[in-house]
Amino acid sequence: MDALLAAGFWALVLTTAGIYAIFVLGLQLEVGDAGLVNFGHVGFFAIGAYAAGLMLREGVPIPLAVLGAVAAGAAAGILLGLPTLRLRADYFAITTIAAGEIVRIVVENEPETTGGTNGLRGASGGWPDVSRDVLDFFSGIGLDLDRRVPLLALVWISAALLVAVLAWLGRTPWRRALRAVREDEDAAAAVGKPVLVYKLQAMALGSGIAALAGVYWAFLSTTIYPENFEPIVTFIGFGILILGGMGSYLGTAIGAVVIGFIVAGTRFLDFPLAADKVASLRYVAIGLIIMLVMIFRPQGLLGKKEELHLDA
């Protein structure tokens, strides 16, 4: 278990957790605030990763590529939302899971553009250079950091900013209307709220945020593969959502660290088990956590308990 003592290990685990945190903040907005059970969230994560990767490979400046990827994710969210948001919740969920898979399968089958199953190399573009410059600057002032720290910082600063913005939005009339739509579309419409507009906005924001997580994933991995974007990623996201608590942005961040540790951290620990068994055990552990949360703290770590029992 020496890995637990290495700075690099924690940097990697926490970066992964931070990416998950951002990913799930998008999900929180859709599921927690707008009531849109989106099982295809990973699709927007993939769109962000590939959009950024493709642009960065073409030499697009990093800030522009980030913005472009987020915009692509948001646009894709609207595109998916337009035909599907009129569906009832259960049909919406089914359609989104298919949509997420469509993204992955398209990526897999367009090897000329995306590298297909061989992966998209150099998806982080000029980021490693920027990261190195940052590290050089800090070693210049006598601080030798692990090579993953710049991305770690970038990811968590982004996550913190997102939490702040979402928490701020949470106190606005906009979110009240959004929650009204979640609670009862007809009641919201009866007092003049344009239901579809609110749902589309939630989809666009949530998907844009997922795309941002995808960009950071590309930064972290450098080479991205379609297999990074399987449906399980969405469900890990839901696990984080349940653990952290519905409606709590801070809870999402905490849940992401716990689940992120299980998903990414256990990779580097020495278990007296074959690797594939460890991989399966990870999901067993996440499943167990979800069950325990459901039994002992159904509102999640920071969710509001009183809201859980209020079904009008």
Partner 1 sequence: MEGLAKRFGGLKAVDGAGFAVRRGSITALIGPNGAGKTTAFNLITGFLRPDAGRVRLGEEDVTGRRPDRIARAGMVRTFQLTRVLGKLKVLDNVVLAAPDQPGERLGAALLRPRGWRPRERALREEAMALLAEVGIADKADDYAATLSGGQRKLLELARALMARPALVLLDEPMAGVNPTLGRRLLAYLETLRAERGLTILFVEHDMEVVMGISDEVIVMAEGRVIVQGPPDLVRKDRRVIDAYLGAEPAGAG
Name the residues that contact partner 1, by CB under 8 A: 165, 168-169, 172-177, 179-180, 183-184, 186-195, 201, 306-307, 310-312
Q: In angstroms, what is the minimal distance from the CB of 32 to partner 1?
A: 11
Nearer to partner 1, 113 or 172 (CB): 172
Nearer to partner 1, 184 or 227 (CB): 184
Q: In angstroms, what is the minimal distance from the CB of 197 to partner 1?
A: 9
Nearer to partner 1, 159 or 246 (CB): 246
Q: In angstroms, what is the minimal distance from the CB of 52 to partner 1?
A: 24
What phi and psi values does residue 62 have, to the nearest 5 degrees? Answer: -55, -50
Q: Given CA atoms 54, 204, 19, 148 in this order, what sign does their dihedral have?
A: positive
Residue 146's contacts (CB-CB under 8 Å, 6 or more residues apart) are 7, 8, 11
Nearer to partner 1, 63 or 173 (CB): 173
Nearer to partner 1, 91 or 174 (CB): 174
Q: Residues 210, 229: contact at Cβ < 8 Å?
A: no
3-state class (DSSP) for residue 59: coil
Task: Please name the amino acid found at residue 281.
Answer: L
State both tokens at 70: 């987020």
Q: In angstroms, what is the minimal distance from the CB of 87 to partner 1?
A: 17
Q: In angstroms, what is the minimal distance from the CB of 23 to partner 1?
A: 21
Q: Residues 294, 46: contact at Cβ < 8 Å?
A: no
In Å, what is the CA distance from 187 to each residue of 47, 108, 179, 202? 35, 43, 11, 19
